[in-house]
Structure 1
Amino acid sequence: MPRKRPKKLDQLLGSQRLQQFADFTEQHQRWQQLMRDCFAKQPLAELISQCEVVAVSAPSLIIKVSSAAVGQRIKTEQERIITYFQTHATPAITRLEIRIRPGRQASATPPPPAQPKPAQNESDTVRKLREQAALCEEPLRSQLLALADKYDA
């Protein structure tokens, strides 16, 4: 099967799909700015970094949030947000949808840092295996002793 010839750069830059993507990106940035302005005028200014406008399509404004708690705070100001977007956005907004999509920054407690493995020589490991074997019953005891013998050799 013959391969298609690669498109030239000016063909790609002038394509309709690229223009649609550029238009959507520009529109998305406008929606984000509208949300920032709206939240700044509401008691929601500290939540701006945890929210993102996903889409504005009549009659819905869809906002992605990092947690259910953030979503609940936004829901309490739902009417004000809808009113703000009705006066400033092109499509008519009558409903607010909240989508919870936790991200890395959304976790309340960061994961613990990976503990570096302590530098131990094999004899120390063998000693600990034998100590643990002395505390265990069969068949675990014999398995631990066999493992210690394997490392001891």
Structure 2
Amino acid sequence: MLRRADNVSIRFQKFLFRSKGRAWLRVGRKEYPGGSISQEAYLKEELQQHQKPILMMAIDNRRYWWFQDRFYWENDNLDGDDVHALLQTRNQRERQRIDRARAMVAMGEEPRTRERGTYRTTSNSSCGYEIRGDVECVAPPRSCSLTTLFR
């Protein structure tokens, strides 16, 4: 399972009098040192993580990934292509959800709630129900309910 890790950050610390440094991964309140790396290589990885997930470190049974300025962890031994595919589909679903919500707001509709096989709308229509097809919407008599109308 791939999960977003909001409590993870990274920093680069250059060694004194050397061309290399160390990247530190902070998870919660603990910091974990990475290997010795040049500042150029670190900056290259920082740019590369915008295009593809970078495996940062494995801590206990979790593997931490860096992708598009966010951190994720997983414990299923996924490779970079798997992580990329999962995150791209997650982003697409979220984008579609936002687009649908914006379209509904633009049309002046309110979200519909599902109620026992019928769609109940919260708008001020004549009967309060949306009926699909070539059927005219007629308010039911006060003495009957929708469940008796559709038997």
Settle same-fold status: TM greater than 0.5: no
**Structure-2-length-normalised TM-score:** 0.29
**Structure-1-length-normalised TM-score:** 0.28
Structure with higher helix content:
1
Select the structure of larger CA radius of gyration: 1
